[in-house]
Amino acid sequence: MLSSITQGKAYLHAALAGHWPWLDRTLAGLIDFVTGPLTGVNTRYYWVFLAQAVVLAAIFHAVRGGTLRGFYRFCLPHGTLTHTSTRVDLQINIANQIFGQSFKLFWRLTMPAIAAFLLAGLQTSFGPAPHLWPWNGASLLILTALVTVGDDLGYYAFHRAAHTLPWLWSFHKVHHSAEVLTPLVAGRVHPVEMALSEPVRAAASAIMLAPGLYFFAGDATLLTVFGIKASALLFGALGNQLLHSQVPISWGPKVDRVLVSPLVHHIHHSTAPRHRNRNFGGLLSVWDWMFGTLVLPVPGETLRFGLGEEAAQIHPNVLMAYALPFWEILPGKAFWSAGAQRFLPARQKPQDTM
């Protein structure tokens, strides 16, 4: 895929550069914008991760006795792609691609930067780094696993806070207002939430990385496979791209207590009262098990997704999704809302679309 895109850009450059340089630059930028989410190793929709999701869904579908003809509907039930919620997913993903970087106010708070700060603290407290052991394959594998666990614990902590703190919930609610699940829901995230969550996860990962830098000699490199983080490949193999889909995969009650399956995360998006504020884990559901927030899937249970509020869809487009959270946390909002209700028509209850 990468080579095909590179060849296409080279062809356009050769055909247009001598005649219309501005058009050459514009088309090259447009190609990068459109293909970036699929070709960027660290993006949500990297093509390798999408391929892993399709293979996993196909295996599960075949084990259940499904046919090739029914595979498409198994992955995308009727009406999913045309649902208004999916259109908003797409709008938010495109807007985040354009404006997301502008919201990264804490871009310096990365895992390496925080790990360096913690390493300096260790050296101040306990003396110069002893560098007792050299790195080898086994120690790098252990470090990669520990950093992955740290990242997931940071994800759990931030995710639970996003459901607990009212002002943060206003931003996280954008993600939960999705009424159908597709992989695009993974990118249905308010950019303020993205900006706040990344340093929290980086700090949790750095807590695992810093001791390794202190006790081992030389630079630590997290394991990669063909340039892709080993942890990301594992996450993809376990159905990361299917967490926000309607593919009903469960690993069984024992494994689901340790690893997040798609059905475990579907419960997190369920409107059922007993599922509210449950299943916060991203890769490991063991955090939910330890802290009492785990609910396991019930075979054959039908789930509805969204906020479950007796109100119209509060994020009908990307503009409302971006702006409404700021309005909700505005001081004195209740006073202004009460006055505005005199001039607004009564809100109708939403129709059942599922």
CA 276/CA 264 separation, integer angstroms = 13
Residue 340: band (very low, low, confident or very high) from pLDDT cuts 50, 70, 90? very low
Residue 8: band (very low, low, confident or very high) from pLDDT cuts 50, 70, 90? low
**Cross-strand partners of 133:** 216
Q: Give the residue among 168, 272, 193, 283 at the shortest CA–CA distance from 233.
A: 283
Number of Cβ atoms within 10 Å of the Cβ of 123:
13
Are 236 and 49 contacting, i.e. CB atoms less than 8 angstroms apart?
yes
Are 306 and 177 contacting, i.e. CB atoms less than 8 angstroms apart?
yes
Average pLDDT value over all residues in the chain: 84
CA 75/CA 61 separation, integer angstroms = 9
Q: What is the pLDDT of residues 308-337, one digit of tens each?
A: 875 678 999 999 999 999 999 988 655 455
pLDDT at 285: 96
Instruction: Take residue 276 and report the two structure tokens written for it.
Output: 């509210």
Rounded average pLDDT over 270-294 = 95
Q: What is the pLDDT of residues 31-77, one digit of tens each?
A: 555 555 666 666 778 888 889 999 999 999 999 898 888 998 989 88
pTM: 0.83
Residue 233: band (very low, low, confident or very high) from pLDDT cuts 50, 70, 90? confident
**Cross-strand partners of 144:** none
Percent of the chain whose predicted confidence (pLDDT) is above 70? 81
Q: Give the residue among 247, 11, 185, 166 at the shortest CA–CA distance from 238.
A: 247
Q: Give the residue among 24, 43, 41, 22 at the shortest CA–CA distance from 8.
A: 24
Proportion of the chain in helix, strand, coil states, percent, rounded to 5: 60, 5, 35
Choice between 226 and 115, residue whose per-residue pLDDT is larger: 115
Q: Cα dist. 266→71, 73, 281, 298 in Å? A: 20, 18, 12, 12
Are 200 and 116 contacting, i.e. CB atoms less than 8 angstroms apart?
no
Least confident of 196-200, 280-284, 288-292, 343-347: 343-347
CA R_g for the chain: 23
CA 70/CA 58 separation, integer angstroms = 11
pLDDT at 202: 95
Are 307 and 314 contacting, i.e. CB atoms less than 8 angstroms apart?
yes
Q: Cα dist. 158→125, 195, 204, 275, 310 in Å? A: 29, 12, 10, 19, 27
Choice between 164 and 310, residue whose per-residue pLDDT is larger: 164
CA 161/CA 179 separation, integer angstroms = 22
pLDDT at 240: 87
pLDDT at 333: 59
Instruction: Take residue 116 and report the two structure tokens written for it.
Output: 């360096």
CA 119/CA 134 separation, integer angstroms = 17
CA 174/CA 90 separation, integer angstroms = 13
**Whether the predicted pLDDT of 342 surpasses 50:** no
Least confident of 126-140, 192-206, 213-227, 234-248: 213-227
